[in-house]
Amino acid sequence: MNAIERLMRAGDRHQPVRGGEVWLVGAGPGDAELLTLKALRVIRQAEVVVFDRLVSPAVMALLPPEALRIDVGKSMGCHTLSQREIDQLLVELAQAGNRVVRLKGGDPFIFGRGGEEMAQLQRHGVVCHVVPGITAASGCAAASGIPLTHRDYAQSVRFVTGHGRNGEADLDWRGLVTAGQTLVFYMGLTRSETLAAQLIRHGMAAQTPLAIIERGTLPQQRVLIGTLSALPALIAHQRPVSPSLLVIGEVVSLYRAASIIAAQPEAALPA
């Protein structure tokens, strides 16, 4: 037995995946190798997997072939199931005795509504386990060679949603414009023009560097570099698609295209 098999066996003994319980599992930003070993162990034993749009095909390929897959994916403005229906579905699947995995992109508790799902399960007396995942901000930034808190540039980092409960996010713009702070906007693409205008209005330099990381950690990853005032033009010309993440702050100046090659060694090696 190799070391990984030993780890997984130990996990099975200490935290068995039981029927009638739900595992809220973070699938990470896309690259299947960024799953945790615990996530892998748990999804390998799933009987029913309830997943959303952000879970990559490479991660889906690791599910047991016989597992029932339920797509509750949401693309903006077009919800397959409402959140309330998803909560209800998880409760019913667990109460029917299934080993249920709720697979979510990134980390279940970062802008993923995992907290709401856990609360509903608990309210119905269903045992809920949570497996953390690498959230898009840290996964995408690291994989593109942007250190979110390089100490010469940033002493803090904020993860911000560009999308509030009812669409427009009501943000504390003044608090966001702080020296030595990196901002990472999730779901910020469609509102990027407002985001840039508000940050500039509240005192952020128009020349502040920013990056759009499109499909981070996936084979199609693209990193677009610009400045705050040029954000609308960057989007108009490059037309990034979802999912994309916006990183704003001086740390972006550390980005070098070559670091992508370092992060994906196969791209640098001759065939």
Residues catalogued as catalytic: 52, 74
The span from the CA of 179 to the CA of 49, in Å, is: 43
Closest CA to 91 of 52, 48, 62, 40: 48
Helices (H), 47-191: 57-60, 83-95, 114-123, 136-143, 173-176
Q: Which of 17, 22, 29, 210 binds ligand SAH (CB under 6 A)?
A: 29
Here's the x/- map for ligand SAH, 138-167, by CB under 6 A: it reads as --x---------------------------
Q: How far is the CB of 54 from ligand SAH (least distance, A)?
A: 5
Binders of ligand SAH among residues 103 to 132 (CB under 6 A) are: 104-107, 110-112
Closest to ligand SAH by CB, 105 or 249: 105
Closest CA to 38 of 84, 74, 76, 4: 4
Phi and psi based region of residue 30 (left: phi greater than 0; alpha: psi -120 to 50; beta: remaining): left
Residue 99 engages ligand SAH in binding (rule: CB under 6 A): no
Residue 217 engages ligand SAH in binding (rule: CB under 6 A): yes
How many angstroms from the chain centroid is the CA of residue 211?
17
The span from the CA of 205 to the CA of 126, in Å, is: 49
Closest to ligand SAH by CB, 98 or 192: 192
Q: Which of 35, 46, 49, 54 binds ligand SAH (CB under 6 A)?
A: 54
The span from the CA of 198 to the CA of 58, in Å, is: 38
Q: How far is the CB of 217 from ligand SAH (least distance, A)?
A: 6
The span from the CA of 73 to the CA of 84, in Å, is: 14
Q: How far is the CB of 188 from ligand SAH (least distance, A)?
A: 6
Q: How far is the CB of 160 from ligand SAH (least distance, A)?
A: 10
Interface residue list for ligand SAH (CB under 6 A): 29-30, 54, 104-107, 110-112, 135-136, 140, 186-187, 213, 215-218, 242-245
